[in-house]
Amino acid sequence: MSYVNLTNISLQEIPKICDPEGRGNLSVIEKDVLPFDIKRVYYLYDVPSDSCRGGHAHKELQQFLIALSGSFDVVLDNGKHRRTITLNRPNKGLLIPCGVWRELENFSAGSVCLSLVSEVYQEEDYIRDYDVFRSVVGA
């Protein structure tokens, strides 16, 4: 696993189609939006505002997070630096590559976090101990 430069991680536009009659918007995620085939989809909801989710890194899995409703912060950590990105628009997503520690916090009331991932669940892909993560990435 190699060192990930956090400045290369940013919000990505998801195509948005606006209804000309004012009936709402539609966003579409197809092959050109993500650099991987989606193998698993899950979502977080009813998360108390003082709770923290995540708290791990992945060896291989890539993850694309979207705030379908409400907002939350994603704290990214490469073992040397930390960066916080707020997700609060359903037409913007955050692509998190493997080798990045992530924590989700500051959930607003009614927030829903959609996660599209590149792999099926495999516990051996997770690094759940921060000190182990730092040693793996050479921090």
Query: The domain containing residue 46 runs over which residues?
Result: 6-136
Mean pLDDT of the 16-40 span: 93
Instruction: Write down the pLDDT at residue 139.
Output: 74
Q: What is the pTM of this model?
A: 0.94
Does residue 17 belong to any structural domain of this protein?
Answer: yes
Q: For residue 96, is it within any domain?
A: yes
Please list, in sequence order, all residues whose beta carbon lies within 8 angstroms of the beta carbon of residue 11, skipping any fewer than 6 positions away.
85, 87, 92, 93, 94
Query: pLDDT band for position 2 (50/70/90)?
Result: confident
Phi/psi of residue 136, each to 5°?
-65, -40
In a domain? residue 55 = yes
> Is 56 annotated in the active site?
yes
- Determine, yes or no, domain membership for 107: yes
Instruction: Name the domain count of the chain.
Output: 1
Query: Which residue in the list 6, 29, 56, 89 is annotated as catalytic?
Result: 56
Per-residue pLDDT tens over the stretch 54-100? 999 999 999 999 999 999 999 999 999 999 999 999 999 999 999 99
Q: Is residue 15 part of a domain?
A: yes
What CATH number is given to the structural domain containing 39? Answer: 2.60.120.10
Q: What is the pLDDT of residues 115-131, one digit of tens each?
A: 999 999 999 999 999 99
Any domain includes 1: no
Reported as half-sphere exposure (CB side, CA atoms, 13 A), residue 110 has a value of: 3
